Every structure is written in C-alpha cells, then in structure tokens.
Amino acid sequence: MGQAKNPRRVADNEARAKLRMIRISPQKLNLVAALIRGKKVERALNDLTFSRKRIAKDVKKVLESAIANAENNHGLDIDSLVVSEAYVGKNLVMKRFRARARGRGAKILKPFSELTIVVREVEEAA
C-alpha cells in the first residue's frame, strides 16, 4: 500500500528551494534577498555573482537549486522563470559570553536564519 503522496505546497507553475541554518542574521540576509525579488532568474544570478556581500554565494546556490527543481522535478522552462518570492525567517540563536573586566560577562548573540526562494514560470507577452 505505502503512504499517500504529499500534496504540493506551491502552484503547478512554481518551484521552491529552502536553506536552513545559515549563520547570518536575518536582517543582513534580507538585504541580499531583496536584491533578487521579482527579477528574472538570469538577471538575479548575475546580480548575486557580482555582489560584494559574503552571503550572496549561499543565496546563489539556493537560487540555482530552485531553478534545478523547476527544470527537473516540475518540467518548467528555465528561460521564462522569475523569482516570485524570496523570504527570510529566523532560526535559532547561539548564546555565548565574553569575559569583561571586574568579573563581569557580556552576552554575544550568534543568530541563524533560513531562506526560501520560489521561482515561477511566466508567459512572455507578445
């Protein structure tokens, strides 16, 4: 018998990729995600390739994964893909401390994030 197939979480003309536990604050990651929102995937890949932000390399990997999912799993045309959604979520925060003068301690927060990219196939207007 087996288990029933899970329903799709996105529409038929969409594909999704997600990266969890990225060691960067959500605020910094959202700056790079905003860079590619709403753009064609070719333009978004170029923008990420030449971005000076450290995290742009990881965001590019997730975008390439979403494009591969669209092509291989859902049979979408990669030339007509657009980044429809790129959103950032919070994940865990590692708490550390740093020894300070007179026996005190200062709290250091090391936040983690997660990134979800959804690409959509759009029809070209003639």
pLDDT at 19: 96
Q: How confident is the model at residue 125 (pLDDT cuts 50, 70, 90)?
A: low
Q: Which residue has the higher pLDDT, 126 or 121?
A: 121
DSSP letter assigned to residue 7: P
Strands laid side by side in the 14-22 sheet: 14-22, 105-121, 81-99
For residues 13 and 30, give the distance between their C-alpha atoms in angstroms, rounded to a whole number.
Answer: 25
What is the set of domains in the chain, with CATH numbers?
Answer: 15-121 (3.90.470.10)
Percent above pLDDT 70 for the chain: 98
CA dihedral sign of residues 81, 82, 84, 86: positive
Decide: 76 and 13 in contact? Cβ < 8 Å: yes
Taking only the tens place, the pLDDT of each residue in 93-116 is: 999 999 999 999 999 999 999 999
Residues 63-73, mean pLDDT to the nearest whole number? 95
pLDDT at 43: 96
pLDDT at 57: 96
Q: How confident is the model at residue 9 (pLDDT cuts 50, 70, 90)?
A: confident
The pTM of the full predicted model, rounded to 2 decimals, is 0.89
pLDDT at 126: 55
